[in-house]
Structure 1
Amino acid sequence: MNKKSTPLELAGVTARQLILILITAMAIVPGYLMITGSLKTQEEFLNSPWSLPMNPNFQGYSAAWNDQFPTWFRNSLLVTVSAVLFTIVMAATAAWGFAHWKWRGRDTVLGLLISLMVVPPVVLLIPLFTLGAKLGWISTFRMLILVYIGLMLPFSIYLLTNFFRAIPVSLIEAAEIDGASDFRTFRSVVLPLSGPPLITLTIVNLLWAWNELLLALVFLQSDEKKSLMVGITGFQSRYSLSIPTIMAGMTIATLPLFITYIFGQRYFITGLTAGSVKGE
């Protein structure tokens, strides 16, 4: 027989549900205003920002896309995809070294690497800008890509190291008995088992790199090199009186992230909890 819940337990459950509803509303409402606002005229939005668009208007999308939006979109795609791919490859190989090879100072180096996650990017802004200016790399994609890789690596290595350590040792030993080298074991045994954390890392890093503004604003100063978020920032000042145009630009910028998450969500939670149980 199920035990009856006490009033205190019921109050706790109700409070948790209300908090979840509130958080969900806080996440959904901005998206609702963004999408509905992009389909209204300026007058309709100002008169009734919360209502649904009775006669959808796509002039905002036309105005947004006819600006430099396609160029900004391509720039963001190039920087984000390049940075994330290099980060995943480097993080996977480094994490395999931390998880599988035993060498003096391994845990110390890993601890120092993990500690870099707490360093805010703004602290590194001036030194990185000075270095980029000396190299002549300001307003170049390679400088921003290298900075993104450096900022994404610590968390990526940490997550993958924990997962690799959770892989049963018997699988690794079986591969070694069969004569597989470390690289062959990594490629043929470890990587095929690492789909969920790799996809999770890809999604998390894509979200961060695509939405990042401060570093892109500093390092990509040329109009033709601006990222999407930097472009939209200036876009808002130029179209400050055209709310549908701004909303349309933001909606288009959000679509790639939404599609990426939809296709990868089945692996997302699995990847976040990967490595929580150590392999035998």
Structure 2
Amino acid sequence: MYLSETRPVVDGDGRVYAVFAGHEANPNFKAEVHDPAVEAMEEALRQCSASDAEDSHRRGTFYQEYAGQSHGGGQFVPGTLQRGSVKAVLMLWLLSQAAFIRLAGFATGIFAGFAPDLYEYYAINMRAFYAKNPRSRRPFLNSIWSACTFNLGPQTCALGHRDYANLSFGLCAITALSNFDYTKGGHLILWDAKLILEFPPGTTILIPSAAIYHSNIPVAPGERHFSFTQYTAGGIFRWVQHGFHSEDSYWSSLSAAQRMAEVQKMAGRWEDGVNHYAYEEELMD
């Protein structure tokens, strides 16, 4: 299935949990946004492949570069996603490209429009996070997410996975890039939803990537397939909500009664999170 215009995906109760966003309504989108983004990815790929072997990770085997703030994997406090000094210069160059700034802003606008309550939840926590960490660099000033990844392929094909480090009920944005035949490859599979989606170059999809098991279909031999993703780690939200303390520090500060209350709160976290999703009928009013 290919959706050329923005459309929500709803659950059995009518709640919007994913959005097929298409791309910005601009007749010059390909020339002004998509093609410059691809050219930048090609240049980044040339620089990476000249010095490194393809990254092998749980999502697949392809080059990737990332930027922003994260929290997890044994960190006591949130920190910057680190690369070497040469890669840091490359990342700053990618982040400065007008094409990616526009893609970031478009995805953020879709998030705000189709999940306004969840968007506000992000905004409140991100404001608190950056106020506490004024030296932390946002990947994009016009993006709601704290981190991003440039999947440079050259034939990006994600294996089946859940992005468990992201906010469990949060939305991440995925933008497909490069010139491939989207009718024959590059599809996005949402396994839990039993959906296989044609994913044309330049289009963006928002999904709860920590909750839904997802993967790609490979593109044809000789084709390129890049992607640009935006996301926020669940650990950042916990750190903010725990008064800017590590998990160990926070739990050790609680009394027995407070710990019991926190455990009960955690048991209902998923349901509370899903309640941030908008109902389709609300969006149509």
For the criterion TM > 0.5, the same-fold answer is no
Using structure 1 for the length normalisation, give the TM-score. 0.25
Structure richer in strand, relative to its length: 2
TM-score by length of 2: 0.25
Greater helix fraction, Structure 1 or Structure 2: 1
Whose relative contact order is higher, 1 or 2, with alpha carbons under 8 Å and at least 6 apart? Answer: 1
